[in-house]
Amino acid sequence: MDKKRILVFGDSNTWGWNPVNTLKPPLVRWSDEERYTGVMQRELGDGYTVITEGLNGRTTVWDDPIEEHRCGKAQLIPLLDSHAPLDLVVILLGSNDLKRRFCVTPRDIAEGAGLLAAKTMGQVYDFRDCRPRVLLICPPRLGEVGKTHFAPVFGGNEEKSTMLAPYYKEMADLHGVHFLNADEIVKSSETDGLHWDVDQHEKLGKVLAAEIEKIFGRA
């Protein structure tokens, strides 16, 4: 039996950013096994292949004038084509849209994520049996990022980050995709207010594995 192929399209938390990092290199990264995608792979077992596509600073649809080449919309379809055939695409983006430089609303962020979901659903030939499946995840809220070294970038948008989930759910329903609210599962680290400690990766990975088994009717 062919393995189910799952592409996870995300940002620095998917990349594995350790909250102890500052904004200066070298960067410390959680290991493949510690990241939530590695936990997913462990929990799902040999019947699945989890493909991790995480990029620091990746947005949903915004071109960043300072951190270039971070627009998820520009990268999505080439990655779908590259990793085809796929059985499921998991989209976990939106935290970087909270950067102060973008000045966008919670609904704008959700609509950006929704556009990615819609584009993925439209790439039918990248999916096995031309049957696209998408799991859209709302990112967790920011912690007290205004008290950390990320304050100049994200500070002041903590409250905005708490408003995303209803709009993400609306976008998931609109585009006919699966939905998960990571804000109910994961808590951002107290160290930097943005990234996740290893125990949070473990929690999310286990929940995602169970959700994916439900999607494929194996729970």
For domain 4-215, which CATH number applies: 3.30.230.70, 3.40.50.1110, 1.10.10.10, 2.40.50.140?
3.40.50.1110
Contact (CB, 8 A) for 40 and 212 = yes
What's residue 1's pLDDT? 61
pLDDT band at 23 (very low <50, low <70, confident <90, very high): confident
Measured distance CA(134)–CA(92) in Å, rounded: 11
Task: Report the percent of the chain where pLDDT is more than 70.
Answer: 99
Q: What is the mean pLDDT of residues 46-73?
A: 97
Give yes or no for a contact between 203 and 161, defined as CB atoms under 8 angstroms apart: no
Q: What angle do CA 22, 103, 101 make, to 5 degrees?
A: 40
Q: What pLDDT, on a 0 to 100 scale, did the predictor assign at position 65? A: 95
pTM of the model: 0.97
**89, containing H or E segment:** strand 88-92
* Number of other CB atoms surrounding residue 24 within 10 Å: 7
SS3 59: strand
pLDDT at 218: 67
pLDDT in tens, 61-79: 999 999 999 999 999 999 9
Supply 119's token pair: 């584009």
Residues found in the chain: 219
Q: Which of 22, 15, 27 is nearest to 57 (CA)?
A: 15
The amino acid present at 24, given as its one-letter code, is K
Residue 166 to residues 52, 125, 181: CA-CA distances in angstroms? 26, 31, 9
The structural domains of the chain, with segments of one domain joined by +, span: 4-215
